[in-house]
Amino acid sequence: EDNLPADATFPDRWKYIEDREEARAILDHQFKRLATIREQRYQVQRRAYQMGELVVDEYSDKKLRFKINVKNGTDGHAVPTGFDAERLVYLHVRVTDKDGQLVFESGDRDPNGDVRDLHSAYVHNWELPIDNQLFTLQSKFITRMQRGGEREQILAVNYSPDPLPYIRPEGRPTILTARPSAVRKHSRGILPGNSRWATYSLGRKSTGSGGPYTLEVDMISQMVPVNLIREISDMGYDYNMSPRQVADRVVQHAHTLWSFRTTINKEGQI
């Protein structure tokens, strides 16, 4: 308020400075609590999602193959847990050649903020190639199609994929199974105390000017994928926010849990 002009006015509810000061104190207290919660959430996720060793399987002028171990650091929960088809945890991997040119990238985002999987609108519309080497722990719902066969699908509501053309409410809480009863789920999570390998391969056309190569890896955790926001956008959002605003905020507040940078030399040593 010190920077306001002398004739500045406030709405009637805030015309007394004592009320404004009290409101400011309440907001400061709430912001402090939110910051504490954010830090605790970050620490919990770093405890659960952990990076293991990096192994180089093949190194030559024509090929580079390596793998990264991703571990579940808990002894009581799979990761992700709960509604794991809505939890986006993945690796963003970048490889540059000896000249500093980017020769490989996996886990990058499309212009909407999605990774380039089957549910990316840009991949679906053939505007970007699918990321075939994407390592993600997000589980996917598999639904039956009306004329046979199955496909991955974003399930924003608990509807039945049965060929009958109407929404069928669930007869039991889906929080117990994290999925509608008529749907199966392709789980990609990691069981307690276990790990999975993220494998990557660069062929002759993508090794650039050769090594030594610089490898950069980020493990990223995000509340929900942007494609889910698009799927439920017809319902609208609180505070008059647009789907674009919600998606941008979700991406902005994604956690980078772990990062490392290393060099792979001619002997394949790290």
Give the tens place of pLDDT for each residue, 119-136: 999 999 999 999 999 999
Q: What percent of the chain has pLDDT over 90?
A: 59
**The pLDDT of residue 160:** 47
**The pLDDT of residue 46:** 94
Residue 78 neighbours by CB under 8 Å, 6+ apart: 72, 84, 187, 189, 190, 191, 192
Distance, in Å, from the CA atom of 96 to the CA atom of 251, rounded to the nearest integer, reads 25
Among 39-48, 174-183, 246-255, the least confident range: 174-183
pLDDT tens digit sequence for 184-206: 888 899 999 999 999 999 987 77
What are the start-end ranges of the E strands in 84-168? 88-96, 102-106, 140-144, 150-153
Distance, in Å, from the CA atom of 95 to the CA atom of 79, rounded to the nearest integer, reads 27
pLDDT tens digit sequence for 33-84: 999 999 999 999 999 999 999 999 988 878 899 999 999 999 888 999 888 8
The yes-or-no verdict on residue 3 having pLDDT over 80 is: yes
- In whole angstroms, what separates CA 195 from the centre of its chain? 19
Tokens at 201, concatenated: 């391969």
Q: What percent of the chain has pLDDT over 70?
A: 88
Distance, in Å, from the CA atom of 162 to the CA atom of 166, rounded to the nearest integer, reads 9
